[in-house]
Amino acid sequence: MVTAALSSIAGTEELPREGRERYAGLYLRAVERFVPLPASEGMALMLGVVGAAEALAREVTTGRLSRAEAVHAADRIMLGAVNAAG
C-alpha cells in the first residue's frame, strides 16, 4: 500500500509494479527452498499471492477484516498456491 500511495507522485508510477515484483521474488526464493516450483509458474503464483495480500490489506484498512483474519487468509492462500504447484 505504501508503494501505491507513492505512485501518485510524478515519476513514481512504476513503484507499485516494481514493489509487487520485488516481494514476489522474495517469496519465491523463500518457498523454493522447500518446494521446487516450475520456473514458468513460480513468479506468476507469487505475484498472485502478493496481489491477494494487497487486497486483504485494503480490507483491513476499511475495517471489513481484522488483521488476524487477513493473516489467516494470506497463510491459506500461500499454502494453497504452493501445494497446487508442488
**Side chain identity, residue 75:** D
Every domain of the chain and the residues it spans: 23-85
Mean pLDDT on 65-73: 96
Q: pLDDT tens digits for 16-66?
A: 778 888 988 998 888 888 888 887 788 999 999 999 999 999 999 999 999
Cell of 31: 518457498
Mean pLDDT on 64-73: 96
d(Cα 31, Cα 6) in Å, to the nearest integer?
29
d(Cα 34, Cα 32) in Å, to the nearest integer?
5
Q: pLDDT tens digits for 1-21?
A: 555 555 555 565 666 778 888
Answer for the pair 54, 17: CB distance below 8 angstroms, yes or no.
Answer: no
How many angstroms separate the first and last alpha carbons of the chain? 30
* The residue to which cell 513468479 is assigned: 43
